[in-house]
């Protein structure tokens, strides 16, 4: 379980780092496109199509669309990326959850309430994040 936690953490950190790098690389080009709107050399009577063509020489149309959408939306947080990665790996664990719970119940009968809360969470939600954060009441790990 710790290996999975470590892998999801590393994958989310990598995704966050890539997003930050992409934004840093795009920033100068986006800035130059924005400066077209305040450039005194561009007359107000200039057709918008020619200004748009100038913008596309600075930054290709698709890249400009992607950058504009990214700037218009709330930036994704590192924690959000982490949960996305956890949810991506969840099906692997859901497949084996029954046998894990069954083995745990055989080991310790007093963990029944915790196992029931896990199963209830899975029935009520389609996401691994619904699992209780804490293990059995005595603090023992669920492994």
Q: What is the pLDDT of residues 91-104, one digit of tens each?
A: 777 777 777 767 76
Tokens of 90: 């969840």
Give yes or no for a contact between 111 and 34, defined as CB atoms under 8 angstroms apart: no
The answer for residues whose C-beta is within 8 angstroms of residue 4's C-beta and 6 or more apart is 89, 93
pLDDT value at residue 4: 74
Closest CA to 85 of 143, 14, 133, 18: 14
Residue that wins the pLDDT comparison between 5 and 123? 5
Count CA within 13 A, CB hemisphere, residue 66.
Answer: 11
Q: What's the pTM value of the predicted model, to 2 decimals?
A: 0.51
pLDDT over 80 (residue 70)? yes
Closest CA to 101 of 129, 126, 120: 120
pLDDT value at residue 53: 92
Residue that wins the pLDDT comparison between 86 and 57? 57
pLDDT over 60 (residue 138)? no
pLDDT over 90 (residue 60)? yes
pLDDT over 70 (residue 121)? no
pLDDT value at residue 142: 42
Confidence class of residue 130 from pLDDT cuts 50, 70 and 90?
very low
Tokens of 69: 């959408």
Confidence class of residue 133 from pLDDT cuts 50, 70 and 90?
very low
Mean pLDDT of 72-92: 83
Give yes or no for a contact between 136 and 142, defined as CB atoms under 8 angstroms apart: yes
Tell me the DSSP string of 83-143: HHHHHHHHHHHHTTHHHHHHHHHHH-GGGHHHHHHHHHHHHH-SSGGGS-SS-STT-----
Mean pLDDT of the chain: 77
């Amino acid at each position: 379980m710790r290996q999975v936690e470590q892998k999801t953490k590393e994958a989310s950190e990598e995704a966050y780092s890539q997003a930050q790098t992409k934004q840093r690389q795009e920033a100068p080009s986006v800035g130059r496109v924005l400066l077209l709107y305040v450039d005194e050399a561009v007359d107000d009577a200039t057709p918008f199509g020619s200004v748009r063509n100038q913008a596309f020489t600075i930054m290709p149309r698709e890249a400009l669309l992607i950058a504009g959408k990214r700037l218009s939306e709330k930036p994704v947080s590192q924690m959000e990326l982490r949960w996305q990665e956890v949810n991506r790996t969840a099906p692997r664990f859901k497949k084996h959850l029954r046998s894990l719970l069954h083995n745990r119940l055989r080991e310790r009968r007093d963990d029944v309430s915790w196992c029931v809360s896990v199963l209830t969470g899975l029935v009520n939600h389609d996401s691994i994040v619904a699992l209780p954060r804490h293990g059995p009441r005595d603090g023992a790990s669920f492994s």
